[in-house]
Structure 1
Amino acid sequence: MPTTGVPDPSGDRRGDDAAASGRGAASRTTLAWSGDPLLGAKFAIPAAPRALVRRRRLLERLAGAADGPLTLVTGPAGAGKTTLVASWARLTEPTTPVAWLTLDAHDNVPGVFWAYALEALRRALPDLPRDIGAPACSDSVGRSLLVRLASALERLPGPVVLVLDGLEKAAGRKVAASLEFLLEHTGSRLRLVLVSRVDPLLPLHRYRAEDRLCEIRGPDLAFTPREAEVLLRRHGLAPGGEVVRRLTDRTEGWAAGLRLCALALQRSPDPDGFVRSFTASERVVADYLLAEVLDAQPPATRDLLLRTSVLDRVHPELADALTGRRDAEGILARLARANAFVEPVADGSWYRFHSLFAEVLRTHLRSRQPGLAEELHGRAARWFAGTGRTGEALVHAAAAGQWPYAAGETVRHLLVGPLLADGGGDGLAELFSHMPPDVPGAEAALVAAACRLVRGDTEGCRERLDEAGRWLRREEGRPSPEVRLTHALLRLLSEPGQGGDGEAAAAEETARELAGLMEGLLPARLEERPEIGALRHHGLARALLFAGRVDDARHASADAVAACAGGATGPVRHRALGMLALAESAAGVLGAAEDHAARSLADADRHGMLPDRRSGAADLALAAVAFERADQDTAHRHLAQARACPDTHDDPLLAAERTALLSRLELAEGRWDAALAALGEGGPASSSWPAQRLALARSAAALARGDPEAAASSVHGTGDGGPAPAVALAFAHLAAGRTGRALRLAARADRSGRLGLPDRVRVRLLRAHAALLDGDLAAAHELLAQALEAARAERLRRPFTEAGPWLRRLLDEPRQADGSGVSASWLTERRPGGGGAPAHTEALSPRERDVLACVERMLSTDEIAAELHLSVNTVKTHLRSVYRKLCVSRRREAVERGRQLHIL
């Protein structure tokens, strides 16, 4: 290799540079001012590590980037910068000369830097002219030397690549200025590749605007799961996909972290267990980060890093509050520029630490200053609360163990509303699940009650509400409006117990109290928490339905739906629509029930609600509608979907409806014993709607088995729950031969304003049967015609399918002398394919017709979205609506049904 000539300081000089002529070989590899030799190892391309992963995506970017004048590769320590560029350089060297220089802290002065840079270029370019010269002193380099070097490089027959590895160690302004000069005056011959932890002091903004800069930064260097898998295999490991994913997520693709973990995994007897329990406290990772990052910082910076490690994200003002100083803004900005595992987020005023680095800092803080973390969490809680970030304030208050403060802030900001609305309150329920049971104060008891209600523990909720009441009576002064409002809301949502008008009246009174408390709040507070008004109507609707006041419950549910506005109330709207649909299905308003249930499910889909957060009310309503229309298959499907929702097990109202529906379906399919077994043992007599629904199902099963006495006894004690038990009792008496008593009960039920459509039709059928038994064929026909006319609009079939053989005989019997009979053709209409569902079809919207037309053309979902300029999710929503309205489950069936109905 050629050597760099270094002039004798006493010889001819050009400024501060000496001519490179007539010097001995020994002097050519030394520094002019000290005589120290140049270190040859600094010019060697680093050897490939034993487990090198060739990262093709980055090598190709470097290959394209090196055609331009400047390539910048930056990232934190251990990101794989040098390994990547060295891999590329070894591939590039055979076709393009690559001059490599590894810099250290002593290269931070221009003379030393350019002495080494010239030697690197001479080793790569044996024909580089020898009259360029060399620096004569350490702290400066003359312009003439740079001019001669630029001129020599410009005359090269082809380009040369100069790689400067570790440029942050030579980050002075003079070095940067000389590099800028060289870039501007070498044409296309010099191609700089700068490898650094920090951005050099070059006009990068101008280079970007002129398209002269290619950048590969920390996020680009992060390993993908596929690359991480290759790396682990190179270490002799055979990881599963889940292990790779966990490890990649945990390290955020940090190259050094993955390599250190691979070494630790080689020594671990349980690699999967290692990954599951892996934290940054693993010594191999912690030692690296402490030595390479934390210990390299000045004391003030180390203190800031340790104190702010308790945060998920850091704001300079918050950091100042935790450190007691006023220099956080500059320190954080410097750390981010230095790629010291600190990076800006959001609008640039916030920062985050690499997750592993944050864990190391937290562990170091706990070991060096026990108890300080809790104090810092407490300070952070107050800072977040003071800036209106209540959610983050609560997280830190909990971490500090300041539960009374956390509960007080929760109640003061009416956060129980969102908590009850979406079943979690963005993690609020999980946060307070760690609160000890003996935390004093009414607010703590109220929050605990809300958390229990969210988990379906109504009894536990009432216990904590009682405790809150005792605190409120014990505390001096009048409770705040927020405390009283929270207490009233929780009472309303947990009150129904045994049902009956007494509890319904209590719920109505609580709802009025709640409305008055809401009026006492500033309108802006209520606008922040729209869930509270919606929950008030929904809680009242549930209490009314629990008491059997179905029509009142429908009105209250409709009010709850109307009170829902915006995304925050989406979960309440989902539940309110489901409750409305359930009440409508009980009243026999099947079309409206089907529509509202479908809207409830669509809301759940739109808000991405998981099954454990959904209400099963809508699916129960759809199951009830299908059952009333004699479509057992659809009823079973929706019942199975409802059973996947926790509230159909936790809420006695929905649990009773689920059980009753299952029993009725078993009965409809001739399994009498299974129908009774589904109901279990009969509970105490009660007039609540859930008890009534179970009693009616038990009565129907007993009657189907031919036991009218058991059928009658099943509904005794439930008469206060409305006219439905009277109808069931009338059928039992008719089956027992007590026709007069049956007719009197039926007449009394018929006069009730609370009689639903199914029971109204059943009463007509009972009277028709009685007339037939009495030999009055004309009256029987007239009553049957009334029943059919009442049921036709909703396609209500169940009362007819359960009526018994006498109905078929009456339908076949001529009604008039001319032979005409009762028209019941709609009873036997079936959907295409003989599925047994009614042929009733809801009209498609214009957009749904467009989607169906695209389906007929066999377009995919993506193609339909592109043609109609819709999102894919919107197309899927329209398709689900089309399937529901056409009573089909597949694309082909939808097209066939559309053609049959002349939609296509």
Structure 2
Amino acid sequence: MPVLPRTLVSRKRLLERLTDSTTGPLTLITGPAGAGKTALTASWANEGPAPGPVVWLNVRDDDNAPGVFWSYVLGAFRFHRVPLPDGIGSPVLADDVDRSLLVRLSSAVAQLHRPVVLVLDGLERVTARDVASGLDFVLGHSGPQLRLVLISRVDPLLPLHRYRAEDRISEIRGAELAFTSHEAAKLLRRHGLSLSEESVGALTGRTEGWAAGLRLCALAMQRADDPDRFARSFTGSQHVVTDYLLAEVLDALPPATQNLLLRTSILERIHPQLANVLTGRDDAEWILAHLARANAFVEVTGDPPWCRCHPLFSSVLRAHLRSRLPGLEPRLHRLAARWLADNGRLTEGLEHATATGDWAYAATLLIDHLAVGRLLTGPDTHRLERLFSGMPTTFPGAAPALVAAACALARHNAPAGWAQLDRAQAHLGGAAAAPSLGTRLAHTLLLLLAGGEEHGSTACATAESLAHRTRDLMAEVAQPCLEQHPEIEALRRYGRTGALFEAGRLGEAHDALEHALAACTTEVTRTVRYECLGRLALIESVRGELRRAQAHAREGLEAAEEYGIPHHRRTGVCHLALAAVAFDRSDLQSARHHLDLAADVSGMAHDPVCAAETAVLRARLELAYGNIQAALAVVDTAGGAHAEQSALRLAETRSAIHLARGDPAAAIGALRDTGGMPAYAVSLAAAHLAAGDTERAARLLAGLGQFDRAGVTDHVRILLLRAQAAVLDKDFATAEGLLARALDAARPEQFRRPFTEAGPWLRHLLARRPDLGVTHSWLTERLADAGTPGSAGDDSLSVPAEALSPRERDVLRCAAHMMSTEEIAAELYVSVNTVKTHLKSIYRKLSVSRRSEAVRRARERKLL
């Protein structure tokens, strides 16, 4: 039995496994060289939990002959003082053993008073089937008194499948032998080293818990000036590890196997066919399978026939490749890139294509495989962006320029994207040969996504033309290839929406976004889905569809978290939409919170529409708190927006600020012609009404027809302006009817802001109709930011609620104690139907629909 080193770490979890497993007939411990198999078993034998005496035999190469092997087994029994009868005898011939001797040995072991544990260490050296069959025979005929422990780098020739089927074997494999970070820290302390948790974790991860590697590193760190730095920067190239792996593993392999390992060391995962390509041979499958069986630091992954080398072994092999075969590595990377790309593993292929800085080849590979969209959407976008992050932005060629453009657009940097597309166009125009289909498709698609300097109807027409050209090019692609890239169609549909959105054609943009969202059905389109949800939410918030906006924005934020979209790839639009929803519901604190979160995303600065919408919300927030000059400064700072939607929203906001400061003329001057847009006409009508020009305001409102193009926001504002005009004409009946319609339209969305901004006339009108205040208490209850002059507190429309009867208060008190309807009935000595009637009345008076809301509302109003 080997002598245990003083630095041995007692690993309780594995010792307990061994103790449990030796209650059965066979325990198999396998793992690569240096995995700690022998040390574990010797530690277990020395600590005394074995069920009986331990007989230990270190198997050597010359023990492969049956007679020699069994002679040493019998000698081991005698050496460890396990009594066997003298009549058993010994083998006569080295190459053979008499079956009767094995019968006598089995019988003698079966008659022992205590079980005996026979440990055979290094059984991989025994390749003779006669030895294996003899072991199987003795184990099967010794009864429960023989407990066999086999230590080997490979599975022995025993019929393991039968033992597994009969539940007569326990196995401890290499993965279980790996040291945990906690065990590695104990090992390092045994060597007099005290490292930080971060350093221990880095070293354990790099070695993958390989026992010999950790011990060799510990020995090296004892001589290092800075052990922590050694651990964090350890790469496996240190000579202590290199020497061990070369001597114990690589040098023991045949030349053909060594050549295969050297050439495939550039791969993270090895496929037999790819290995054949790199070696020019056709026997890689057999060699790799043999290495995996031999635990020679090669293992089959969960996706056979793919396998992998231990990272430390790979790093040693790569260093050996560069010294033994200099200049070969770039060629191997290119061969691997082509094979991987052609076999559906493009990202892995690009990792090899970019490894040597061959940017022209890498970019061409991406473009020709129609995968430029993968830089914009999908689970590999971050990896691809990282791969091309080292490519110079001025690297010549159309393909590199297109890749650089896609990277810029992925970061929401449209100006940089346009510059790269101009470079690509220059290269394409000067090329002697016609560009490939992949190049033309990538160029057209990226032009569509980047937009351009045109605005309004011209931009929409250009986008529509580019979308048609993209579809025509897609028709030239083979259908199976197109089916592998659903992101192209999703991006094509999404690309149409930008121009519509900027042109203020919100209804068409909304429909186009829903059409794009319908194409986002796979994993590779998930970033497009996130973008669509944010844009839908923003449009819906502008149109006053607050519930849908909130749902889409929250869904978008959840998608960003679920998909792991990094911060620099996010747009902030979802938070911007939630800020708009909160503002329109007069929750100013939440509006400011979400607005700050939106502004924290770098992509917002590159989106003119979102930048303008951010300015609009910030200005309106300042206005809500009474800071008129600050609000005007926000709008003035954001000036110069060219997109029609942006210009419209900023002009409306500037007009609202002038109205708040009592300057209707300036409010009118801030608005030019209506451009046929309902929101613009509504703002202009409000300004004329404030100026006393009711006739002009009426004409503007009459031109809006039956609101066929107006959203909830414009619908409510139009009704309120007509109600205001009716109040000015002393037509209170008409005004009350219009107000009731406006409240009904706003109630589903809890749309408060148009009412809180309407002015004193609305308070007087509500005072004439207190029933409206009771029915619409969602509006008249005190708002979230109440209390500060000039804030939402002054926006509250305090209308007394209809009083609750004493019995209704009793029912509400019971409901507050979470009592059921039946329990309330029993408590108050009334029928269940009576309780239900009281609850319905309470819901009506408090303008709620659920018991929990009634209790909350009653507490807010001090009714409980």
Query: 1:494, CA displacement in angstroms?
Result: 0.8
Query: 1:773, CA displacement in angstroms?
Result: 5.0
Aligned with residue 689 of structure 1, among 645, 651, 665: 645
Most deviating of 370-379 and 532-541: 532-541
Aligned with residue 765 of structure 2, among 800, 804, 810: 810
Query: 1:667, CA displacement in angstroms?
Result: 2.5
1:99–1:121 Cα contact (<8 Å) kept: yes
Residues 416-441 of structure 1, C-alpha deviation per residue, up to 9 Å, x if partnerless?
23332338536222222233445443
SS in 2 for 1:451: helix
In structure 1, distance between residues paired with 2:781 and 2:569: 35
SS in 1 for 2:143: coil
Residues 201-236 of structure 1, C-alpha deviation per residue, up to 9 Å, x if partnerless?
211112222222111110111112222232233333
1:287–1:59 distance in 2 versus 1, CA, 3 Å: same
Query: 1:90, CA displacement in angstroms?
Result: 0.7
1:494–1:718 distance in 2 versus 1, CA, 3 Å: farther
In structure 2, distance between residues paired with 1:677 and 1:899: 44
Verify: 1:363 aligned to 2:319, yes or no: yes
Equivalent residue runs for 1:509-658 within 5 Å: 509-604=465-560, 607=563, 609=565, 611-643=567-599, 645-658=601-614
Aligned with residue 59 of structure 1, among 5, 15, 28: 15
What code does the residue aligned with 1:467 have?
R
In structure 1, distance between residues paired with 2:286 and 2:493: 52
Query: 1:342, CA displacement in angstroms?
Result: 0.2
2:23–2:51 Cα contact (<8 Å) kept: no
Query: 1:530, CA displacement in angstroms?
Result: 2.1
SS in 1 for 2:408: helix
In structure 1, distance between residues paired with 2:334 and 2:567: 36
In structure 2, distance between residues paired with 1:679 and 1:246: 51
Aligned with residue 77 of structure 1, among 16, 33, 36: 33
Percent identity reads: 53
Verify: 1:264 aligned to 2:220, yes or no: yes
Query: 1:521, CA displacement in angstroms?
Result: 3.5
1:723–1:749 Cα contact (<8 Å) kept: yes
The aligned residue for residue 815 of structure 2 is: none
In structure 2, distance between residues paired with 1:389 and 1:557: 31
1:687–1:720 Cα contact (<8 Å) kept: no
Aligned with residue 829 of structure 1, among 778, 786, 803: 778
Most deviating of 143-152 and 748-757: 748-757
Provide the aligned C-alpha RMSD in A: 3.5
1:792–1:826 Cα contact (<8 Å) kept: no
Query: 1:461, CA displacement in angstroms?
Result: 1.0
Query: 1:830, CA displacement in angstroms?
Result: 6.6
Q: Which runs of no fewer than 5 residues in structure 2 stay unpaired? A: 786-791, 797-817, 820-842, 844-848, 858-864
Query: 1:835, CA displacement in angstroms?
Result: 4.9
Equivalent residue runs for 1:638-787 within 5 Å: 638-643=594-599, 645-676=601-632, 678-679=634-635, 681-684=637-640, 686-706=642-662, 711=667, 715=670, 720=675, 722-732=677-687, 735=690, 754-769=709-724, 772-773=727-728, 780-781=735-736, 783-785=738-740, 787=742
The aligned residue for residue 835 of structure 2 is: none
1:775–1:62 distance in 2 versus 1, CA, 3 Å: same
In structure 2, distance between residues paired with 1:790 and 1:141: 98
SS in 1 for 2:108: helix
The aligned residue for residue 829 of structure 2 is: none
The aligned residue for residue 307 of structure 1 is: 263
What code does the residue aligned with 1:221 have?
L
1:126–1:741 distance in 2 versus 1, CA, 3 Å: closer
2:503–2:643 Cα contact (<8 Å) kept: yes
SS in 2 for 1:72: strand
1:98–1:162 Cα contact (<8 Å) kept: yes
Most deviating of 355-364 and 504-513: 504-513
1:395–1:431 Cα contact (<8 Å) kept: yes
Residues 337-376 of structure 1, C-alpha deviation per residue, up to 9 Å, x if partnerless?
1111000123431211011111111122123322211111
The aligned residue for residue 746 of structure 2 is: 791
Most deviating of 149-158 and 678-687: 678-687
2:53–2:82 Cα contact (<8 Å) kept: no
1:500–1:721 Cα contact (<8 Å) kept: no
Aligned with residue 254 of structure 2, among 298, 312, 317: 298
What code does the residue aligned with 2:196 have?
G
In structure 1, distance between residues paired with 2:334 and 2:144: 59
The aligned residue for residue 16 of structure 1 is: none
Verify: 1:125 aligned to 2:74, yes or no: no
Aligned with residue 227 of structure 1, among 183, 193, 197: 183
The aligned residue for residue 114 of structure 2 is: 158
Aligned with residue 505 of structure 1, among 457, 461, 465: 461
1:264–1:643 distance in 2 versus 1, CA, 3 Å: farther
1:895–1:327 distance in 2 versus 1, CA, 3 Å: farther
SS in 2 for 1:101: strand
1:108–1:170 Cα contact (<8 Å) kept: yes
Equivalent residue runs for 1:208-357 within 5 Å: 208-357=164-313
In structure 1, distance between residues paired with 2:673 and 2:573: 23
Residues 597-635 of structure 1, C-alpha deviation per residue, up to 9 Å, x if partnerless?
344445445545555544433332232223222232443
1:163–1:195 Cα contact (<8 Å) kept: yes
What code does the residue aligned with 1:161 have?
V
Query: 1:180, CA displacement in angstroms?
Result: 2.4
In structure 1, distance between residues paired with 2:547 and 2:58: 78
In structure 1, distance between residues paired with 2:89 and 2:394: 81
In structure 1, distance between residues paired with 2:11 and 2:239: 28
1:421–1:75 distance in 2 versus 1, CA, 3 Å: same
Most deviating of 757-766 and 356-365: 757-766
What code does the residue aligned with 1:147 have?
V
In structure 2, distance between residues paired with 1:550 and 1:769: 28
1:70–1:212 Cα contact (<8 Å) kept: yes
2:379–2:524 Cα contact (<8 Å) kept: no
Most deviating of 342-351 and 372-381: 342-351
1:77–1:292 Cα contact (<8 Å) kept: yes
Aligned with residue 469 of structure 1, among 408, 416, 425: 425
Query: 1:646, CA displacement in angstroms?
Result: 4.4
In structure 2, distance between residues paired with 1:565 and 1:170: 56
What code does the residue aligned with 1:626 have?
A
What code does the residue aligned with 1:88 have?
W
User: TM-score, normalization: structure 2?
Assistant: 0.84
What code does the residue aligned with 1:758 have?
T
In structure 2, distance between residues paired with 1:691 and 1:834: 31
Query: 1:448, CA displacement in angstroms?
Result: 1.8
What code does the residue aligned with 2:4 have?
A
What code does the residue aligned with 2:755 have?
F
1:423–1:454 Cα contact (<8 Å) kept: no
2:460–2:503 Cα contact (<8 Å) kept: yes
1:686–1:298 distance in 2 versus 1, CA, 3 Å: closer
What code does the residue aligned with 1:295 have?
D
User: TM-score, normalization: structure 1?
Assistant: 0.81
Query: 1:640, CA displacement in angstroms?
Result: 4.5
Most deviating of 223-232 and 484-493: 223-232
Most deviating of 438-447 and 302-311: 438-447
